[in-house]
Amino acid sequence: MTELWLVRHGQTDWNVVRRFQGNSDTLLNDTGIAQAQTLAATLDGQSFAALYASPLQRAFQTAEVLAERLQLSIQVDNDLVEACHGDWEGMLWTDIKVQYPELIAQRSLDPVNTRPPGDGENVVEVAKRMTAAATRIAQRHPQEKVLIASHGLSLAALICCARGVSLHKIFDHIPKNTQVEKIHWDTTIPCPGINA
């Protein structure tokens, strides 16, 4: 099995005010850059076969800091982007709760199948995309250790799948900014809760 070290990007200004980012291409703030630098320092002495990143700037910037410290090149995988939040992107969480109370209630009861308005992805779609990316990476790097810089909800889907946790619990598994979660990816075991 491949050992995947999953890293959520550093802090952005939108994280601070709880504004939904999704596929919006936001940048790290000064705190986020400092978080990435601190993380990079803690990884000294670790050896990784590869570093993969989402193309969205907040994740790619985080990967750039890690790449410089670890002397790795960055391989971009478009499937590592954050979940698309549709019409919610750019909105504050407080405003979403006021404007979409019924949808938020539905999302609390059924987070797996509830889709944000507009062209948003549901959790099953995110999990399928992320497991496909993890499987590709694992097939390229069997029995190796790989670093992945991505996003909170997308990484939570991968964490749930790897650990056999129901996707209904996905919001409990979103990593903090620059938090590392280590998983072992077995390409032969399907993710519970999504169709093969």
Hey, where are the domains in the chain? 2-185
Distance CA 74, CA 38 (A): 19
Closest CA to 130 of 178, 167, 172, 91: 167
3-state secondary structure 124-169: HHHHHHHHHHHHHHHHHCCCCEEEEEECHHHHHHHHHHHHCCCHHH
CB 51 within 8 A of CB 72: yes
The two tokens of residue 63 are 């990967």
Q: What pLDDT is recorded for position 192?
A: 73
Does the domain formed by 2-185 have CATH 3.40.50.2030? no
Residues with catalytic roles = 9, 82
CB 40 within 8 A of CB 65: yes
Q: How many CB atoms lie within 10 A of CB 22?
A: 22
> Which backbone phi and psi does 162 adopt, to 5 degrees?
-65, -30
Q: How many CB atoms lie within 10 A of CB 46?
A: 10
DSSP symbols for 107-119? HHH-TTT---TTT
**What single DSSP character describes residue 33?**
H
Beta bridge partner(s), residue 28: 12
Residue 98 CB-density burial (10 A; 0-12 exposed, 13-18 middle, 19+ buried): exposed
Q: For 54-100, what is each residue's pLDDT tens digit?
A: 999 999 999 999 999 999 999 999 999 999 999 999 999 999 999 99
Q: What pLDDT is recorded for position 196?
A: 42
Q: What pLDDT is recorded for position 195?
A: 56
Closest CA to 122 of 162, 159, 83: 83
Ranges of the chain whose pLDDT falls below 50: 196
The radius of gyration of the chain from alpha carbons, rounded to an integer in Å, stands at 16
